[in-house]
Amino acid sequence: SISARESVSSFDQIILKDSVYTAMGLAAPVLAGEFNFDDFLSTTIVGDMSMPCNGPVFKVLHRRIAILLGQWITIMENQDKRPLVYQIFENLLDVSQPGNDIVVSLTASRHMKTVIDDYSFKPQQYLPYAEKIFIHLISLIEQVQNVESKMAILNTIRVVAVRLEEHIVPFADGIVNILPDLWTASGEEHLMKQAILTLLSTIVTAMRSPSSRYNSLILPLIQRAVEDGSDMQVYLLEEALDLWSNILQQTPTASKGDVIMLIDSIFPLLEGGGDNLRNVLVILESYIILAPEV
């Protein structure tokens, strides 16, 4: 289907780049210190991202760039280059951009986790790009059909929330708003429900007391997940107890009314014992501190 000579040249060059970038990624620990990746990022990779995307082969290159950046981010010498990496991922996560598609953006979402979950991460460098990146991640999770892909995106969002800590507050509503539909659509896919509860637990911990505005959504989920004898309890008890404990620890005394509704659910769990008894006792202790009169 390639009709023009220059198209063939471009095709060959891009396939060659993909091969070279694959080798560079695999050899990253060996090349570190011998190769100036910072300059390479600012010139060659930025140039690759700026090329007119005339044909589907450019999707191969964009996907490879996402992988390559994930492989090199932890050994980059100049951490001031990180905002440029975030800017590139902001582009790669946008399915509507030329040279991107679901595969490119999904690959970028997976390697975004590696980029964020690094000891050199600084929220101040990331925040200028956070809003658009969250918009693209949320849009992507609504477009993909595969449960495993949805869970991978949720995991990336969770890691971002962990690293942003209290800076997650402006973006939390957008994240939490997609979770009820994901919960309903997951049906009997309990791994997805586990991922949702874990993400909620992370958001509650990061936001602290302002997270109480989500109690009307979260508390019924916990109640269903810890219900004695239910199928959900078999699969979701550990994650539900972690979320329950985190909510109690972040609840101010003045706003304790909502969480009191769950207190009767603690007694069957005490009787059941088991591996989760320690978490149950922590929850009971939190209730005693938060509402001793109850």
Give 119-136 pLDDT, tens digit per residue.
889 999 999 999 999 999
User: What pLDDT does residue 6 have?
Assistant: 36
User: What pLDDT does residue 41 have?
Assistant: 95
Which tens digit of pLDDT belongs to each residue from 3-37?
333 344 478 888 999 999 999 999 999 998 889 99
Residue with tokens 């956070």: 130
Q: What does the alpha-carbon distance between residue 114 and residue 106 come to, in Å, rounded to a whole number?
A: 14
Q: What does the alpha-carbon distance between residue 105 and residue 97 come to, in Å, rounded to a whole number?
A: 10
Q: What does the alpha-carbon distance between residue 252 and residue 270 come to, in Å, rounded to a whole number?
A: 25
pLDDT at 256 over 80: no
Q: What does the alpha-carbon distance between residue 65 and residue 88 come to, in Å, rounded to a whole number?
A: 9
Helix-helix angle 123-143:147-164, to 10 degrees: 160
Short-list 209, 184, 187, 211, CA closest to 199? 211
CB 83 within 8 A of CB 128: yes
Short-list 181, 269, 256, CA closest to 225? 269
Report yes or no on whether pTM surpasses 0.85: yes
Helix-helix angle 215-225:231-250, to 10 degrees: 140
Mean pLDDT rounded to a whole number for the chain = 91
Short-list 96, 91, 104, 8, CA closest to 63? 104
Q: What does the alpha-carbon distance between residue 172 and residue 221 come to, in Å, rounded to a whole number?
A: 18
Q: What does the alpha-carbon distance between residue 100 and residue 62 come to, in Å, rounded to a whole number?
A: 7
Q: For residue 282, what are its two tokens?
A: 């922590």
Q: What does the alpha-carbon distance between residue 294 and residue 256 come to, in Å, rounded to a whole number?
A: 11
Helix (H, G, I), strand (E, B) or coil at 32: strand
Which tens digit of pLDDT belongs to each residue from 169-204?
999 999 999 999 999 999 889 999 999 999 999 999
* Stated length of the chain: 294
CB 273 within 8 A of CB 266: no
